[in-house]
Chain A
Amino acid sequence: MTDRFVYMDYNATTPLHPEVKRRMTEDLEVYANASSMHEAGRRARSRVESARAAVATLIGSGDDAERVLFTSGGSESNNTVFATMFHLGRKGPRKGIVTTAIEHPCVLNSAAWLCDEGFPVRFVGVDSHGRVDMDELSSAVDDSTLLVSVMAANNEIGTVQDMAAIAKLAKSRGALVHTDATQAVGKIPVDVKAWGVDYLTMSCHKLYGPKGIGALYVAKDAPLVPLIRGGHQEHGLRAGTYNNVGILGFGAAAELAWAELPAYRERIGALRKRLAEGILAAVPKVRINGHPTEVLPNTLNVSFPGAEGEAILLYLDLAGIEVSTGSACASGSLEPSHVLLATGLGPELAHGSIRFSMGRETTADDVDYVLERLPPIIARLRAMSTVEA
């Protein structure tokens, strides 16, 4: 076995930024209820609001920080939007939900729930690079459409959507627009104003902050029905005592992500290029999935025909390299990645797909270690295989 440990699963989750960790450790002392009127409460509240400002700045809402609501994470943020649509659709004339075939299960299952409740739901397809088919989107959205929900960047293949164009189209037909930007925030510039979206979902643990905290941006005139009812926190839109440490951790992570973003993009982008070129040079017959240019700088999804993804993942794991796969074997179902299938990839290429997602701590040395260990693993599995590469 090996002492090397190369974590390349940052799209699943990230470690705490050391500075976030340091600040959260201090923040553990901030115990007062941020809704209390007394001084300790007011102090806590003031720090919560500073954190909100940092998160708002990261998504281009710095001048209107109160549009950001803290939630327990991306899933809650997405569920809040879809629950709001349930209430709006029952009472209003618009009921149509338009989303895409490559969304996170959280959005897919929320859309499926609305479908069960009698809402017309359309799943728009994507092209071979994973970009939303704008013609299909255009024909799917009309004056009965209540919501258009499109993820800003895909978790598996990293493809980034043209959110401004999508939102413009949806708005021109009077629909509300939601984007699940869980994978985009902290990796690429995100600007709710330039994009023109009504709702934007964020999760903190994807940007070197703690788990269990996220946020939902809600544009000024966009309707919102609380998912969690109770006290008056977050203007009554999301009840529950403020999660001081989580929120302050999110604030710290957002502040650092904002400051580090330009350097991060450049450095990680170069590592992605090094990894992609290295794999193409060392392993015959591979396919890089996702968009060639409109892609997250840290995400590289590769199909290895003739080798099965779970086996690749576990051999890499034994070499100390942590990745993920779109294989059915790893999903617990019998179907491989719905994202890769939606891009038109055959099931075999989807079963043999590996996602490398890099992050702050990834070094060129890590990439070279992967390039040293990966090719013999693929060669070994292909030699073992009944399937020609």
Chain B
Amino acid sequence: MSEAFSWLYSDTVKEHFTNPRNLFDPAEGFQADAQGLTGNVKCGDQMMFMLKIRDDVIADVRWKTYGCASAIASTSMLSEVVKGMGIREAYNIKPDDIARKLGGLPDNKIHCSVLGDKALRAAIDDYLDKTGRSGLFRNEGATVICTCLNITDRDIEEAVKAGARDWQGLQERTKIGTVCGGCKEKAEELLSDYVHIFA
């Protein structure tokens, strides 16, 4: 019956939703070298990545997700993409890369795939912490938002994680937008996304 009509999401999303890859199974006894958790149950999405890493390459991966179909599918897709990938490259995967591989996501669902890459980065950061290289990749692949003061999306993310909840709080922590103010719209958009994810 359902097959006769186009689905809510792309066929790829449906495929990953119905057959998620690399899903964590407690019976399997997966031994993770590092793990990362991102998201907020209040908002309806939370993801966890567990990584097995050999010579800075992701040898194997498992994940868990509390969330909607696109959250499940994007975590599943991301897990396939990063298997066998070096941690530096994996750290720099962009949400758009995952959304594209999934055949696109509706606009209001993009934040679901934003979460997956953040959980992955948290897991890689956990590994870097454990191997004495804390923060090694933090500013790689970041996008400059405030060109006057060279403040990146990662800086905004870190500020939100440290407690910034509004524009004033963000400015207090980063001085963003205090010169020309031209970045305010873009920065506030990111601020709202990050507050949703991390607050």
Spell out A's residues near B (CB within 8 Å).
Answer: 1-5, 306-311, 314, 317-318, 320, 327-330, 332, 334, 336, 347-348, 351, 383-387
Task: Tell me whether A385 and B66 are in contact in the complex, defined as CB-CB below 8 angstroms, given that A334-B196, A347-B44, A348-B42 are known contacts.
Answer: yes
* A329 to B65 CA separation, bound complex (whole angstroms): 14
Given contacts A314-B8, A320-B2, A334-B196, contact A329 B41 (CB under 8 A): no
Name the A residues within 8 Å of B20 (CB-CB).
384
Residue of A3, A310, A317, A327 ringed by the most chain B CB atoms within 10 A: A310
Whether A386 pairs with B3 at a CB distance below 8 angstroms is: no
Nearest first, the 8 closest Cβ-Cβ pairs linking A and B are: A329-B68, A310-B68, A351-B44, A385-B66, A387-B66, A347-B42, A386-B46, A386-B64
> Is B23 among interface residues, defined by CB-CB distance under 8 A?
yes
Which B residues lie at the A interface, using CB under 8 A? 1-3, 8, 17-18, 20, 23-25, 37, 39, 41-48, 64-69, 71-72, 108-109, 196
Please, how many angstroms separate the alpha-carbon atoms of A347 and B46 in the complex? 13
**Extra pairs beyond A2-B2, A311-B72, A328-B44 (15, CB < 8 Å):** A1-B1, A308-B45, A309-B68, A311-B69, A314-B69, A317-B2, A329-B68, A330-B68, A351-B44, A384-B20, A384-B65, A385-B64, A386-B37, A386-B65, A387-B66
Interface centre among B39, B41, B65 (most CB of A within 10 A): B41
Contact B1 A306 (CB under 8 A): no
Assess the A385–B65 pair: CB atoms within 8 A.
yes
- Which residues of chain B are within 8 angstroms of A307 by Cβ–Cβ distance? 66
State in angstroms the CA–CA spacing of A317 and B9 once bound together. 13
Chain B residues with Cβ below 8 Å from A386 are: 37, 39, 46-48, 64-66
A12 CB to closest chain B CB (Å) equals 16
> For B47, what are the chain A residues with a Cβ–Cβ distance below 8 Å?
386
B41 touches which one: A5, A311, A387 (CB < 8 A)? Answer: A387
CB <8 Å contact, A318 and B2? yes
Residues of B within 8 A of A348 (CB): 41-42
B67 touches A1 (CB 8 A): no
B95 to chain A: closest CB distance in Å?
Answer: 17
In Å, the complex CA distance between A2 and B3 comes to: 9
Q: How far is the CB of B69 from chain A (nearest CB, A)?
A: 5
Closest Cβ of chain A: how far from B146's Cβ, in Å? 25
Determine whether the beta carbon of B42 is less than 8 Å from that of A306.
Answer: no
B46 x A387 contact (CB < 8 A): yes
Q: Could you count the A-B residue pairs with CB atoms below 8 Å apart for me: how many are there?
A: 79
The reply to whether A2 and B1 contact each other, CB–CB distance below 8 Å, is yes
Q: Write the nearest CB–CB distance from B122 to chain A, whole angstroms.
A: 12
Contacts of A385 in B (CB 8 A): 64-66
Asked if B17 and A384 sit within 8 Å, CB to CB, the answer is: no
**How many angstroms from the CA of A327 to the CA of B8 in the assembled complex?**
16
Dominant secondary structure of chain B at its interface with chain A:
mixed
B18, B67, B108: the one contacting A308 at CB < 8 Å is B67
Query: In angstroms, how far is the closest chain A Cβ from the Cβ of B110?
Result: 12
What separation, in Å, do the CA atoms of A2 and B2 have in the docked complex? 8
Once the chains are docked, how many angstroms separate the CA of A5 from the CA of B1?
Answer: 7
The distance from the CB of A170 to the nearest CB of chain B, in whole angstroms, is 36
Q: How far is the CA of A225 from the CA of B46 in the complex (A)?
A: 50
> What are 23 inter-chain pairs, A to B, with CB distance below 8 A?
A1-B2, A1-B3, A3-B1, A5-B1, A307-B66, A318-B2, A320-B1, A320-B2, A328-B43, A329-B109, A330-B68, A332-B108, A347-B41, A347-B42, A347-B44, A348-B41, A384-B23, A384-B64, A384-B72, A385-B66, A386-B39, A386-B46, A386-B64
Identify the closest chain B residue to A328 (Cβ): B44
By a CB distance below 8 angstroms, the chain B residues around A310 are 68-69
Q: Which of A5, A306, A334, A336 has a CB less than 8 Å from the CB of B66?
A: A306
Q: Write the nearest CB–CB distance from A380 to chain B, whole angstroms.
A: 10
Query: Bound complex: CA of A98 vs CA of B181, how far in Å?
Result: 43
The distance in angstroms between the C-alpha atoms of A311 and B85, with both chains bound, is: 29
Residues of chain A lying within 8 A (CB to CB) of residue B46: 386-387
Q: Which of B64, B68, B109 has the most CB of A within 10 A?
A: B68
Chain B proximity of A339: nearest CB distance (Å): 16
Q: Complex: how many Å from CA A334 to CA B67? A: 13
- Residues of chain B with a CB closer than 8 A to A5's CB: 1
A383 to B48, CA, bound (A): 13
Given contacts A328-B44, A348-B41, A384-B20, contact A311 B1 (CB under 8 A): no
Question: CB < 8 Å: which of A306, A317, A329 contacts B44?
Answer: A329
Chain A min CB distance to B161 (Å): 18
A376: shortest Cβ distance to chain B, in Å?
13
| Residues in B neighbouring A327, C-beta threshold 8 A | 44, 68
A4 surroundings in chain B (CB, below 8 A): 1
